[in-house]
Amino acid sequence: MVNLVVVTVATKETDGFRRFLRSAKHFNYTVKVLGRGEKWRGGNYMSAPGGGQKVRLLKTALEEIKNEDEVILFIDSYDVVFASGPKELLKKFQQSRHKVVFSSETLIWPDRHLEDKHPHVREGNRFLGSGGFIGYVPKVREMVSGWTGEDGDSDQLFFTKIYIDPEKRKSINITLDSKCRLFQNLHGALDEVVLKFEDSRVRARNVLYDTLPVIVHGNGPTKLQMNYLGNYIPNTWTFETGCTVCHEDLRPLTTLKSEYPLVVIGIFIQQPTPFVTVFFERLLKLQYPKNRLKLFIYNQEVHHERQVSAFLQDHGSLYQDVKLIGPEEEMDGPASRNLGFDMCRKDKDCDYFFSVDIEVVLKNENTLKILVEQNLPVVAPMITRPGRLWSNFWGALSADGYYARSEDYVDIVQGHREGVWNVPYVSNVYLVKASLLRSELTEYELFNSNILDPDMAYCHNIRSKEIFMYVTNMHSFGRILSTENYQTNHLHNDLWQIFENPLDWEERYIHENYTHIMKDKLIETPCPDVYWFPVFSEVACNHLVEEMENYGKWSGGGNMDKRIQGGYENVPTIDIHMNQVNYDKEWRKFLLEYIAPITEKMFPGYYTTCSTPLNFVVRYKPDEQPLLVPHHDASTFTINIALNSKGVDYQGGGCRFLRYNCSVKAPRKGWALMHPGRLTHYHEGLPTTAGVRYIAVSFVDP
C-alpha cells in the first residue's frame, strides 16, 4: 500500500483551516501542517499573485522525507474540503499514469501571455492550478528544487513555467487533472458544480465532465460558494442524518464550574417601532443570570424615551451595568454600533457581545444560552417575518455584494433543513465572541462605509478577515416586526398594529384563553341565545380605555347626534365612536378575525361580513349616565365587551334581558357578551352605582 501524506501550509488557524482539518479527519487523512506560527509573507493572492512562501516551506519539508515511495498531496487548506477518502484519491492518481498531477482551471493565471504555450487537451480544462497537486516524493522534490524565489512571488507562475516547458514536463512526468476527477477548482467553474446527495454523504459533482472530485477548492473569489458547499460536504448535513456537526465543539453552560460568561447586550432603537414595551418584557424573561449581563442601550427615538426609562427605572438595577445613549446625544447608527462593540472590546470581563435590534421578537427565552453554547465566532438565531420568506440572513451574495438567494435558502427559512449554516450575511440579532473583537476585529469603525448599509459593512469586514458567520435554525427563536406604517400620533400606537403585525397584536391584545374557546367549551350561555366568552387581554382593555380618555371628546348623551346617519339616536349613550379615533378599520378586522368565527359556530347557518354602522366605547358614571333604558339594538347581533372590573373600578352595572328576565350582573373584564340585536333580546343597562364602567360595543350587520 502506497503511503500518502497530505501537506498544507497554514500560518494561522482560521475557521476555514478548522473546516479543512475536520474533513481530513473524517476520512482519516494524515495531515502535515507547515508554517505554523510563521508570519505570512506570501501576499494576498485574492488580488495579486503570491504564494511563494508555500513553495519554500514545501522544499524544506521534502528534505526531511526519507521514504521515496511516499505520495504527497500538497493542497491549500483555508478554502478546501475533502469530499472522499485516500483510497479513492490514490486510485484516481494511479489511473492518471503520471508521477505528478496538478489541479486544472478554466482560466489562466497569473500571466495570460503564456496561454499558447499550454499543451492542448482533448477534453477538459487546459490551465494549471497550483492550489492542489499530488505526486511521488522524488518527482515533487525534483520539481521544487529549482525554487529560488521570494515569499511574495507567484507559486502558480513557478509551477506553470515548469509545466509548459516540454522537457521538464516530460522528465518530471506532469499532467493536469483536466476533467476534475481529483481536484475541483471553483473559480470559473461555478455553473459546473452541483451537490450530489447519496447514502448519508454529499459530493460535489462536475456536471460538465460527469466526475466526482475528491477535493473541492474555493480558489480566488469563490470563498462564499466554498462556504455554501462546506455546509454539506462531506457529511456536514445530509438528508438522512440532518446536521452531523451541530453538536460538536459545544460549550454546555450546565457543566461550567465557574460563573456564566459575561455578555454585553447591545439594544439598538433606530426608528419608531411597535411593541417596545413587549421587547423589554421579553428581555427580562431571558434565561440568563442578570448579574452576568451588562446593557448597552442606544435609543435614537424621542418617541420611545418613555418605555426605555420605565424599563430602566423598574429593572435596570438587576443588571451588572447599564449604559444608555439617548436621542439628545445625536449619535448615528453606525457610531452607536461601533461604540457598543468597543465597550465589550475594552471590558476585560466581557466574553460576548449580543446585538439585538428593537424590532426583534425573541420568543425563545433560552436564545442567549443556546447561542453561547454554540461556541462559534459569530452566530445568529434565525428569525423570520411571518408568512414571508424574509429572514435575518442571506444564503448568498450577488456579484456586487447585495442579496442573492442560495439554492437552500427557502428550505432553511421554512425549516425543512435544520442546522447551523455558514452564511455571508447576518443582521438584526447575533452573538459575537469578545476574543474576536480583541484580535481579528480590532478596527473601531467596523460598521462604517460610504456605500454600504452598516450591517452590510460589518459583514463585509468580517468576511474580509476570513471569519465565518453562522445562522442556526435548530430551534424556533422568534420573528421580526414590520416597522412600516407605524403611527406615532396615539397614546397606545400598538393598538393600530392588527394589519402590520397581526401575530404580535394578537399576543398583546387577545385573551390568553381565546384559543381554547371552542376546544375547551369556554363559551358560557348566561341567558338564552346570549353567549359569553373571553376575547380581550387585560392590556387591551386598559389601552382602549386610556386611548378614549386621552382623546376625551365624549358625546353629551343627547338624542341629537351628528356622528350618525340621520342625526338622531333613539337610545343615546355617553360614548366615543371608533371612527373618531381612526380605529374603525382596525376594529372591523378584529371582528372578522375573532368574533365572526364564534358567531358562525353559535348561530349555525348565519355568516357575517361584520359590516358595522356603529362601533363605540360607552362610559357609565352615577353622576353622568348610570344606566340605559330598555331598547333593541340596530343590529343582527351585538357585541358588548367589558373593559374594566366590577368591584375594583365600579359597583353595580350589568345587562338585563327583559323577555327572559335574565341578567348578567358581573361582567368579566375582557369578556364579550354576544346576543341578537333586534326582536328577541330587548335589554337594558343596569345602573352603575359607584366608580366608572366602560364597555366596547358593536352593532354588527344592521
568: DSSP letter = B
How far apart (Å, rounded) are the C-alpha atoms in residues 607 and 37? 76
- Residues contacting 148, CB < 8 A, separation 6+: none
- Residues contacting 549, CB < 8 A, separation 6+: none
432: DSSP letter = E
Helix (H) or strand (E) holding 351: strand 350-357
> Are 140 and 55 in contact, with CB atoms under 8 Å apart?
no
SS (H, E, C) 618-663: EEEECCCECCEEEECCCCCEEEEEECCCECCCEEECCEEEHHHCEE
Residue 671: strand pairing partners = 534
Give the three-state DSSP class for 456: helix
> Are 72 and 135 in contact, with CB atoms under 8 Å apart?
yes
CA angle 377, 381, 387 (to 5 degrees): 150
How far apart (Å, rounded) are the C-alpha atoms in residues 233 and 213? 12
Question: Helical H runs in 97-191?
Answer: 137-144, 155-164, 166-172
> Are 498 and 505 in contact, with CB atoms under 8 Å apart?
yes
- Residues contacting 546, CB < 8 A, separation 6+: 491, 492
> Are 195 and 229 in contact, with CB atoms under 8 Å apart?
yes
678 is catalytic: no
Residue 396: CA count within 13 A, CB half-sphere: 14
CA angle 77, 79, 84 (to 5 degrees): 75
The two beta strands, 31-34 and 425-426, are unpaired
Q: What is Dmax (Cα atoms) for the chain?
A: 113
CB neighbours (10 Å) of residue 242? Answer: 12
Q: Which of 274, 275, 315 is nearest to 295 (CA)?
A: 315
Helix (H) or strand (E) holding 369: helix 367-374
Residue of 181, 201, 619, 693 marked catalytic:
693
How far apart (Å, rounded) are the C-alpha atoms in residues 664 and 501? 35
How far apart (Å, rounded) are the C-alpha atoms in residues 536 and 640? 12
> Are 301 and 486 in contact, with CB atoms under 8 Å apart?
no
**Catalytic site residues?**
693
